[in-house]
Every structure is written in structure tokens, then in C-alpha cells.
Amino acid sequence: MVEQQSSLNNIWNSKLVWRIAVALFMVILAVNTLFSVMKISQFQKDRLYDLRELGLYSIIPSLSNKTFDQSRPPIDNRGANRLILITPITGLSYYNVGKQKIGEEGADFTLQLSRTGQSPSQYYNSDDGIYEIVYTPGELGVSYYVVAQLDARRIKAEMMKAIQLEIVIVLLLSSFVTLVLIIALSKWFLDPVIHLYDRLSRATKILKIHQSQIKAYMTKQKLAVRLRPRIS
């Protein structure tokens, strides 16, 4: 027990071990950070998907059962205002099957459908907390496209909390793994390396001392040779 305690003390008193520990910590930290970035990115995608599904299931019950002539919106003004009031939806824009705009309610939109080219299916602005999504006729069950603007401000707040938590977890995990690895490797690898390093360090110091002594001796000999003719 005393020998193990002495070995651990020697480990943490060695500069070489601290260099190895710092290098190992940085490598583990980089790997954990990479996985955390991927995790945070997936977290944002999951939250946006949940918000998208919430918007879809809020819109479907408000669709009118009447058959319109593609020139009238599938949701009346009263139904649209109710959605804007009690759900995360802040705006609705309606397009017929030809992607011709036939109505709009609520906030102004950034996302617009193009009748000639490929249109983006979603738009997300994290700074303003805006998420705009296109719901297709296949999703809605009616012959209309509906572009919904959703309030996504809570996602930014959740992202900040998740990032702060990940930073704490990454630092603690990296420190713990580094400590465990240093202790585990000390018996089979670090102890011999430390002893060899200490011996080389001592040998280097002794060599420097001998070199300085030899240099001083040679200097004295040269002075003695120069002074000898004058004494005689």
C-alpha cells in the first residue's frame, strides 16, 4: 500500500506525466467535442421536427370539409385566427395545386412557393425564432399547399441549455477518462518511463557538473602555464 502511494506521488510529481496527461486530455476533449457537436445538431433537428408535427396536427382539424374551386383558402378566417391564437402558428399562407398563392393570414412570410422551379420545403431563422414549413397535399389530405410560420423561440432557449450542459459533461468526462487512463497506465508504462526519465535527467545534470569541473580545471591549468615563466 505504501509502495503504491509512493508510486502515485512520483507520477504526479513528474513533469513528463503532466505533459502526457495534458496531451491525452486534449485528444479526449477533441473527440468528445466532435460527438457533442453532432449530438447538438441532431437535438436541433429533433426539436424542429417536433414543432413541424405539432403544426401539421394543429392545421388538419381546421381544414374545411367543403370542396372549393382552388381559388379559396382551405381554412376560413375564423379558423386561421383561432390557430394563430392558441397554437405556435403565427402565420398561414395558402397555395392551390398549381402553387398559385390564394391567401395569407398572420405574419409576413420569407418562404414563398415557386410555380416554375423547385421551392425550399422549410426556412429556419434561429435569431428571430421563426420556422416556416411547407405542408404538401399528401400530408394535409386536401388539394392545397399550406405554408405555416411557427414560433420557434423556445428551441433557441433549449439549445442554449443543451450546449451548456454538454460543455460541463464533456469537460468532466474528459478529465475523468484522462485520470483513469493515467492511473491505469502508470503500473505498466508510466512507472518505467518515469524512472528512465529521472535517471536520464540525473545523468544529464551529473554530466553538466563534470563538464563544468573539467572546464574549470583546464582553465586553471592554462593560467598556471602562462604564469610559470614569470615566476621563474
Decide if 180 contacts 24 (C-beta within 8 A). Answer: no
> Do residues 127 and 135 lie in contact, with contact meaning Cβ atoms separated by under 8 Å?
no
Residue 89 C-alpha cell reads as: 402558428
Instruction: List the helix and strand counts (H, then E) for the chain.
Output: 6, 5
Q: Quick: pLDDT tens for 136-153.
A: 999 998 889 999 999 999
pLDDT digits (tens, 9 = 90+) for 14-33: 676 778 788 888 988 898 88
Is the pLDDT at 56 greater than 90, yes or no?
yes
The bridge status of strand 144-151 relative to strand 122-125 is unpaired
* Lowest mean pLDDT segment, chosen from 44-53, 80-89, 171-180: 171-180
Share of the chain above pLDDT 90, in %: 25
Average pLDDT, the chain: 81
Per domain, the residue ranges of the chain are 14-184
Q: How far apart are the first and last CA of the chain?
A: 70
pLDDT tens-digit profile of 96-120? 888 889 999 988 898 888 877 677 8
Locate all alpha helices (DSSP H) within 100-152, ordered by sequence: 137-140
**pLDDT tens string 153-176:** 999 888 889 889 989 999 998 888
| Alpha-carbon distances, residue 141 vs 28, 41, 99, 119, 121 (angstroms) | 50, 31, 16, 20, 18
pLDDT number for residue 222: 67
Provide mean pLDDT across the span 35-48: 89
SS3 185: helix
What pTM was estimated for this model as a whole? 0.65
